[in-house]
Amino acid sequence: MSACPVSGDTGVVRLTDFWERMGAAFGPHAESVVELHVLRELDNRTPAQALAAGESTLQVWRAVCEGHDVPAHQR
């Protein structure tokens, strides 16, 4: 999985940052993407399932970027 180029990326994305990024990328559909979209990049889990299983928010964000072709300027 390739890294999402995030300015100042320290390898840590707080949950509040994750939701801000989701909102910026998906608008009112952000919650649906997290709850309903199964991603190959997350071992065929939804982002919600991956977060509940203990995956880091950074890894989940990167998987969402890959799985949904989020443009570089929104990553």
Location of structure tokens 């299983």: 53
Q: In the prediction, which pLDDT does 7 show?
A: 39
Q: In the prediction, which pLDDT does 12 show?
A: 63
Query: Could you tell me which of 31, 59, 56, 35 has the C-alpha nearest to residue 47?
Result: 35
Give CA–CA dist 5/43, Å, rounded: 22
In the three-class reduction of DSSP (H, G, I as helix; E, B as strand; rest coil), residue 3 is classed as coil
Structure tokens, 5: 């180029």
Give tens-digit pLDDT for 4-57: 444 344 456 789 999 999 999 999 999 999 999 999 999 999 999 999 999 999
The pTM of this model reads 0.78
Residue type, 73: H
Q: In the prediction, which pLDDT does 11 show?
A: 54
